Structure 1
Amino acid sequence: MLWLFDKDNSITAKDASEEIQGVYGQDSIAQRTCGKWLKKFRDGDKDVEDLEDEPRSGRPSNLNDEELCLLVEMDPKATVRELAEVLQKSVGSV
């Protein structure tokens, strides 16, 4: 996302999501998520060293982040759908 923004800082959330989905699949990112990140980048918040999720309400995730990271390191080209299948989680969770 940051690469797309740096390439064209006027990119729309729709165009960014379509470009990312073209590479990683339809379930990889939502237009709303792209909009959220583009707003952060336009506001000057491009610190890639601090990309942790902010605290939020709701049920905590039961996804094993370490297992997910290991799978991505083993196969960086794996799709979200493939990772979800291996982890037996929903695509949205992954």
Structure 2
Amino acid sequence: MTAYGSCREINEVFGDGTIDHRTCYEWFNRFKSGDTSLEDKEGRGRPVEIDFKALLEAVENDQGLTTRMLAEQFGVPL
């Protein structure tokens, strides 16, 4: 499996724009180097405060929302 192929499959399953190729390549490089953590590294940008209950409700109500759409809706930078 390649980064490009994974990105394409994710977008086929969850909709175009769910993930971009650059992000897939970054994840592949992290995983390849042995970092399989899905947590953000400490000190990476400003901590984001978000109402997770409202986020979950939004996703449950419209599973077609992309990460970009959710970020815009909740005022979170990507």
Q: Same fold (TM over 0.5)?
A: yes
Aligned length: 74
| Equivalent residue, structure 1, for 2:40 | 52
- Establish whether residue 21 from structure 1 lines up as the match of residue 7 from structure 2: no
Q: Find the aligned partners of 1:79 and 1:53 in 2 and give their Cα distance.
A: 28
Question: When the two structures are superposed, what TM-score results if normalisation uses the length of structure 1?
Answer: 0.55
Counterparts in 2 of 1:1-94, with a 5 A limit?
Answer: 11-48=1-38, 51-52=39-40, 55-56=44-45, 64-66=50-52, 67-72=54-59, 75=60, 78-81=63-66, 84=69, 89=73
Q: 1:84 offset after TM fit, Å?
A: 3.1
- Quote the RMSD (CA, aligned, Å): 3.5
Q: Percent identity of the aligned residues?
A: 26
> Which one scores higher on RCO, CA 8 angstroms, separation ≥ 6?
2
Any gaps of 5 or more consecutive residues in structure 2? none
Runs of 4 or more, structure 1, over 4 Å off, are: none
Q: So what's the TM-score if we normalise by structure 2?
A: 0.64
Q: Please list the CA deviations of residues 36-75 of structure 1 after superposition, one character each: whole Å capped at 9, or x if unmatched.
A: 0011111111134xx1365137xx86x7351213434xx2
